[in-house]
Amino acid sequence: MTTDFKPDYSFESIREEFPILKREVHPGVPLTYLDSAATSQKPIHVIEAMDHYYRNTNANIHRGVHMLAEEATFSYEQAREKVARFIGANKPKEVIFTRNTTESINLLAYTLGRSLLKPGDLVVLTEMEHHSNLVPWQMLAQVLNLRLEFIRITDDGMLDLDSYDQLLKQNPKLVSFTQMSNVLGTINPAQEIIKKAKENGAVTIVDGAQSVPHIPVNVKQLGADFMAFSAHKMLGPLGIGVLWGREELLEELPPFLGGGDMIKKVYLRSFTYNDLPHKFEAGTPAVAEAIGFGAAIDYLSSTGMDRIAIHEQNLIKYAIDELQKIDGLHILGPDASLRGGVASFTLDGIHPHDVAQILDGDGIAVRAGHHCAMPLHDRYNIPASTRASFYLYNTINDIDVLIKSLKRVVKIFG
């Protein structure tokens, strides 16, 4: 199935390509989807690519010589090539398909824990990390007796780079951080963080779950060692993600899972593992999801990541300006110019779950809770927040609908 197309660059008309945005979530109440930081909606282009695979090419890959197997293998590996180009990787074999960002980081914690890290080593994280970039290192620290330290967050939601400089003096072995906060929206100075880490001999991991879908990302320009991200946050299907790593580092790591496809030869008491990327892709992979991921990459590339970033910047500026006009509303994070399309906030005396429930009555989908970032909320001494997050299919009208509904929330609670 060809994936070449010419999308309309009017972001208003882009909405027409997302079937779910035509839905009424309650009788007479259309959907206003503002939860893309949790998962993005899918254009018809992605849905049709996956449907085409199941209708016409369904087969396991790398193991058959019949026509269906060869077509499926070609499409799967073509998706890997698309991802590699999208993030500026040197070679497609540096792209490892996983289930999601979480699995990618767990893969690194497991393999680095067996090859690089030793008892007493320092791992540097930040106070704004998603649990996916906290818990795997906490688990590894319990096993290896590692030290975990954290780059502090300022009151306005930025990383305190002075505290980072102090941590670097302790010679960390690993620095792992999010490029864009899923709560604060803060876009961190990834290139600077990586450069300083490398000057001190540390391996670097970037959690790109929120950044790769929304801003142009080039791993070579960043200078990172590893990056993890997920398809479902960037118009692709759930159940597939990516671990990108520099080839020479991936070669040094031991395998993660054992089984089919990650081996060259198996004996009764030993085995030899396969070449990259198959070394880290044990078992039958998510073939349809990879094809859908490739279609999503086509869509984003054709629309233009620069254009998407500018569109979201316009949305978040407008949203922040309007949210600040609501009495008792407090926005977490920095100025709009320093963040992506994420606005998390609290309302005095109103629990975020109550806010989200009333918004849902108006057809508005937001996220309420700690957003898998409990320590970050602890930092601001709040139990939870309400989060509105935007993507290329959102418009100024979506924000106006949100603001109107939030005013109704305030009125209801007096």
- Is 372 part of the annotated catalytic residue set? yes
CB 213 within 8 A of CB 138: no
Among the listed residues 372, 384, 392, 406, the single catalytic one is 372
Residue listed under structure tokens 């197309």? 5
- Which residues, listed in sequence order, are joined to residue 350 by a DSSP beta bridge? 347
The values of phi and psi at residue 197, to 5°, are -65, -45
CB 206 within 8 A of CB 190: yes
Measured CA to CA, the distance from residue 176 to residue 227 in angstroms comes to: 9
Give me the DSSP letters along 31-71.
-EE-BTTT-----HHHHHHHHHHHHHT---SSS--SHHHHH
Measured CA to CA, the distance from residue 340 to residue 343 in angstroms comes to: 9
Residue 13 CB partners (closer than 8 Å, separation 6+): none
Cα-Cα-Cα-Cα dihedral sign, residues 289, 292, 294, 297: negative
CB 236 within 8 A of CB 301: no
The alpha carbons of the chain give a radius of gyration, in whole angstroms, of 22
Measured CA to CA, the distance from residue 249 to residue 245 in angstroms comes to: 7
Measured CA to CA, the distance from residue 279 to residue 262 in angstroms comes to: 4
SS3 annotation, 207-259: ECCCCCCCCCCCHHHHCCCEEEEEHHHCCCCCCCEEEEECHHHHHHCCCCCCC
Whole-angstrom CA distances from 371 to 182, 336, 383 are: 8, 20, 11
Active site residues: 372
